[in-house]
Amino acid sequence: MSIELTLLIWSAALAVAYIVVQSTLYRMDYGVIFAGTPRDNERAPNKWTARGEKALRNFLETYGIFIALAVATELAGRSDGLTQWGAQIWFWARLAYLPAYFIDIPFLRSSIWFVSAIGLFLLFVGVAF
């Protein structure tokens, strides 16, 4: 199995981690009972819940791109050093991004996001050209 496909499989576990963090913070903030309702009268979330929601949303914004590029790499048989580095850079940066969203170090989160974008770029170049 290629590195890209292996990381695609592990990215599903990473997606679950993002969801677990977000949903746990939500339930801690609003309560389990409210989380089970239609949430019609939802108040503004606290700082941690908002960060969990933003981190998950940000992950999902790039996840589809990673999936498409990893699958295209596999189907085209184009796995090489460039696509392998791209997949690894994206995966490990997205893993680092989750805790970074909760640490108040200026530009850390944005820097990690930029590194993950480089990973996607490498994957794209490797499979497209």
The answer to whether residue 95 scores a pLDDT higher than 90 is: yes
Q: What is the per-residue pLDDT across 41-92, written as a single tens digit (0 to 9) for each?
A: 899 999 999 999 999 999 999 999 999 999 999 999 999 999 999 999 999 9
CB atoms within 10 A of CB 16: 10
Type of residue numbered 129: F
Band of residue 104 on the pLDDT scale cut at 50, 70, 90:
confident
Burial label, 108 (beta-carbon count in 10 A; 0-12, 13-18, 19+): middle
Fold entry, domain 3-128: Four Helix Bundle (Hemerythrin (Met), subunit A) (1.20.120)
Domain limits of the chain?
Answer: 3-128
Q: Work out the mean pLDDT of the chain and round it to a whole number.
A: 96
pLDDT score of 35: 87
What is the predicted pLDDT for the residue at 39? 87
CA dihedral 58, 56, 114, 48 (to 10 degrees): 110
**Residue 50, CB half-sphere, CA atoms under 13 Å: how many?**
6
